[in-house]
A = this chain, B = another copy of it.
């Protein structure tokens, strides 16, 4: 479940697509124009992955397809996993600080 979201976020092209959708929904053609180096099929495949992960919702509008960002899955993995780690940011920083001090003492 969450795994699909992480996998979707692993690719920079897909994160770029999400950035494009952040302000406003875009048609597939818009997105292809935004990434001239990538083939249209490549963009569509990335969109499929994003839709499967729930990060993008697509809607047909005539002969166009509008792609909407859905930030909810992002929010979810941050709440359920990331915050559990970053909450202890100070603790891990302390551990690492003590580690480097021990290394100095070994000289």
Contact A72 B88 (CB under 8 A): no
Contact B15 A10 (CB under 8 A): no
A89 CB contacts on chain B under 8 angstroms? 71-72, 75
A85 CB contacts on chain B under 8 angstroms? 18, 22, 69, 71, 74
Among A15, A82, A92, A95, find the residue whose CB has the most chain B CB atoms closer than 10 A.
Answer: A92
A41 within 8 A of B: no
Contact B103 A59 (CB under 8 A): yes
Contact B57 A86 (CB under 8 A): no
Nearest CB of B to A54, in Å: 11
Query: Whole-angstrom distance between the alpha carbons of A68 and B82 in the complex?
Result: 17
Contact B96 A70 (CB under 8 A): yes
10 closest residue pairs by CB, A with B: A10-B10, A71-B92, A71-B89, A75-B86, A71-B85, A69-B92, A6-B10, A74-B85, A7-B10, A75-B89
